[in-house]
Amino acid sequence: MSDVLDTRGAWLSSEDLEQARERLPLVYVEAIPVRTDSWGHITSIGLLLRAMPDGSISRALVSGRVLYGERLREALLRHLEKDLGPVALPRLPVNPAPFTVAEYFPDPTVTGYHDPRQHAVSLCFIVPCDGDCSPSQDALDLIWVEPWEAASTSFQAEMTGGQGRLVRLALAHAGQLD
């Protein structure tokens, strides 16, 4: 049995995806890449710089859809490699469990998590990365910031769709939010 996911039948055409987004909530994974010290405390958080569909620029997390037939672990690894490069060396536990679940809606007033395209359910993970990370695919840049800086008002303002709240939740989950 192959460990490689056959994505030929898992991708939707643009038209099919648009129709699905109008009718169904889609499942996503979001990863907050972190560097940790020898005690497991978060020392820095990796934030991507992305061009958004509306033409704006925003700080963002690693994020993407879970494909039909794909395990969460595989989806996380695929998106981490796509956004951070093939030598990011993410450390996923044997059985990954999200630190929270975020529901994105086209209406930003429903939950505070906003995606104008769709209703999406996102499983959110903190993922230590030990390797060399570099932005790839559609990411313009990757910066590593200290936890206090990522939780600051200025960085929260650079993130859209509620992802800044996810960073703060991750830090609180890790016991590192002042």
Spell out a b/e string for 3-21, using b for 16 or more CB atoms within 10 Å of the CB, else e. Answer: eeeeeeeeeeeeeeeeeeb
pLDDT for position 51? 83
What percent of the chain has pLDDT above 90? 69
C-beta of residue 115 within 8 angstroms of C-beta of residue 122: no
pLDDT for position 162? 93
Q: Which residue has the tokens 């996380």?
A: 76
Q: CB within 8 A of 83, min separation 6: which ones? A: 48, 62, 135, 136, 137, 139
Which 3 state secondary structure label does DSSP give 158?
helix
**CA within 13 Å, CB half, 50:** 21
pLDDT in tens, 126-172: 999 999 999 887 788 999 999 999 999 998 889 989 999 999 999 99
Radius of gyration of the chain (CA): 16
- C-alpha 26/C-alpha 24 separation (Å) is 6
Band (pLDDT 50/70/90 cuts) for residue 175 is: very high
pLDDT for position 111? 94
Structural domain boundaries in the chain:
21-173
- Average pLDDT of span 29-42: 96
Band (pLDDT 50/70/90 cuts) for residue 3 is: low
Tokens standing for residue 52: 């958004």
pLDDT in tens, 4-31: 555 555 566 778 767 766 778 899 999 9
pLDDT in tens, 39-59: 999 999 999 998 877 778 899
69 pLDDT higher than 50 = yes
Q: What is the CATH number of domain 21-173?
A: 3.90.79.10
pLDDT for position 9? 55
**Neighbouring C-beta atoms of residue 101, cutoff 10 Å:** 10
Q: Which of 133, 132, 107 is nearest to 120 (CA)?
A: 107
